[in-house]
Structure 1
Amino acid sequence: MKTKNLISKSHQQQEEEGPEYVQIKKKTKKNKKIMKVLEEEEDEAELIDSEEDPVIDSTTTPTIAESKPISESKKSKLNKKRLLKEAEKADKRGVCYLSRIPPHMDHVNLRQILSQYADIQRIFLAPKDSSAQLPSKPSRRSQNTAFTEGWVEFTNKRVAKRVAEMLNGEQMGGKKRSSFHYDLWNIKYLSKFKWDDLTDELAFKKAVRDQKLALELSAAKRERDFYMSRVDQSHALNAIEERLKKKQKVDQNAGQMKKVIRHFHQTKPIAANAKESKPAVSDDLLDAVFGGS
């Protein structure tokens, strides 16, 4: 009788609590059983590991060099997983092209407007070339917001395609005070186009530009060197011509002037004059003086 009363009470409780409560109870019981089984398996594994582990000795302990490759392999696996996840996310993204950027618009304004329709990842706006600008001095604001074209990356390519189809040719709107309120959208979805393609294209354009600039600089240096060499040659030739002209002038002056012959008064020697002035002594006188025979 007691068992019947207990069974009837349990049936009454189940009817009052409903089938949902019964299902929850069953699930909790199953979960408890699963947790017990897992705990038992973990205990068994710990026991096996403790039995298999040898006594800690210098011969059996792993060195630092042996433990390093394991950590490096784990890191490489984690990096591979991250790269795969990033690649999957990149495949889901879509890129739209803006052929015209209104004046006074920058990436902040563009993000504020387009983020109303979808989630945006990255934006790139191509600045206007300095050679294409007018010679007059533009204001700081116009200098900072002078862009010709742009690319926008959305998180979902389907949403990006819908946004491009919806906005293309439509008015930008927004606040009426803004300078691009009445401008029209020129936006197009680029199918099978990724952000990496854009970066590769920009890098290629930059490399071509740098190569052209290097060629122009080398050509300008060659022209400068040639011009300077010609200038040096002209200076040398002018100096030679001036010297020749001076020599010719000297020769002409020498031909026109008469040669001057100078005469110097020469005095006669004293010895010759003395001989001529002294009178001759007779031989008799000399014999008498010196007692000649």
Structure 2
Amino acid sequence: MKGVVHLASLPLHMRAQKLRHILEQFGEIERIYLAPEDEFRSKNRKKSGGSKKIRFTEGWVEFAQRKLARRVAESLNGTPIGGKKRHNVFRDDIWNMRYLPKFKWFMLKEGTIYNQQVRKARLQQMMSQAQRENTFFLERVEQARTIQKIAERREAKGKPKKGGGSAPGGSRFPRTDAATARSAGAGPVVGISDTVLNSLL
């Protein structure tokens, strides 16, 4: 019966072919799957001047025998990858792996599909939220235009008609006697209270 080993982390730039080459010396391997780095992290890493090569964050290795998978995980976990430095640039990296009991390969596929559906649902939710915000903004703009038009119509209705008694310029406030006198050319008018007049007598 086949067994699956999970690698919680992978050396930088390690590929499936290299991983297979290293682990095959311990026994027969069936399938290998490496999960690529998140697109958001990848873009940020590249923007900050990091390597543009694809990076894998974790992996699954299916061994032909369950006992073999358990033995490899228990013996290698926490140890250096090793090998000749000339032929293996990963020799100083540490294995971070564990055996997954009762784990089947199809379960990995189901997990991948589930994660894809979650990402798809999140994307749809974000798009729906953006659409609602855009609709709300357009509605507010239309409301502002309507209010402005109403105000303009009210202002237009307040303008004086021919022969009307409204003050020039459409003012809503009646002109005072002083203002009327000035407009008639009578000069400035100064208001003096009775108290001031009595003090002068």
1:61-111, Cα deviation, whole Å (9 max, x unpaired): xxxxxxxxxxxxxxxxxxxxxxxxxxxxxxx11100001111111212111
TM superposition score normalised by structure 1:
0.50
* Closer, same or farther: CA 185–247 of 1 in aligned 2, 3 Å: same
Give the one of 97, 114, 127 matched to 1:217. Answer: 127
Deviation at 1:220, TM superposition (A): 2.1
Map 1:10-89; keep pairs closer than 5 Å: none
Give the one of 17, 20, 28 matched to 1:111. Answer: 20
SS of residue in 2 equivalent to 1:122: strand
Question: In structure 2, what residue type is equivalent to 1:104?
Answer: H
Counterpart Cα distance in 2 of 1:238 and 1:131: 44
Give the one of 201, 204, 207 matched to 2:111. Answer: 201
The residue that corresponds to 2:77 in the other structure is 168
* Closer, same or farther: CA 236–137 of 1 in aligned 2, 3 Å: farther
Map 1:198-277; keep pairs closer than 5 Å: 198-245=108-155, 248=158, 250-251=159-160, 255-256=167-168
Max Rg structure: 1
Unmatched tracts of structure 2, length 5 or more: 170-201
What's the Cα RMSD here? 2.5
1:156-190, Cα deviation, whole Å (9 max, x unpaired): 11111111122111111234255422110011111
The residue that corresponds to 1:17 in the other structure is none
The residue that corresponds to 1:73 in the other structure is none
Counterpart Cα distance in 2 of 1:246 and 1:109: 81
Counterpart Cα distance in 2 of 1:118 and 1:184: 20
1:189-228, Cα deviation, whole Å (9 max, x unpaired): 1111110111112222222222232223222212221111
SS of residue in 2 equivalent to 1:100: coil
Question: In structure 1, what residue type is equivalent to 2:96?
Answer: N
The residue that corresponds to 1:120 in the other structure is 29
| 2:95 is the counterpart of 1:185 | yes
SS of residue in 1 equivalent to 2:40: coil
Counterpart Cα distance in 2 of 1:149 and 1:184: 13
The residue that corresponds to 1:85 in the other structure is none
The residue that corresponds to 1:16 in the other structure is none
Counterpart Cα distance in 1 of 2:49 and 2:146: 46
* Closer, same or farther: CA 117–244 of 1 in aligned 2, 3 Å: same
1:34-86, Cα deviation, whole Å (9 max, x unpaired): xxxxxxxxxxxxxxxxxxxxxxxxxxxxxxxxxxxxxxxxxxxxxxxxxxxxx
TM superposition score normalised by structure 2:
0.70
The residue that corresponds to 1:153 in the other structure is 62
Counterpart Cα distance in 2 of 1:114 and 1:223: 52
Counterpart Cα distance in 2 of 1:228 and 1:175: 66
Contact 1:96 1:187 in 2 (8 A): yes
SS of residue in 2 equivalent to 1:95: strand
Contact 1:122 1:153 in 2 (8 A): yes
Contact 1:122 1:154 in 2 (8 A): yes
* Closer, same or farther: CA 151–243 of 1 in aligned 2, 3 Å: same
Question: How many residues are treated as equivalent by the alignment?
Answer: 162
SS of residue in 2 equivalent to 1:148: strand
Counterpart Cα distance in 2 of 1:140 and 1:131: 13
Give the one of 51, 54, 57 matched to 1:139. Answer: 51
Contact 1:103 1:179 in 2 (8 A): no
SS of residue in 2 equivalent to 1:189: strand
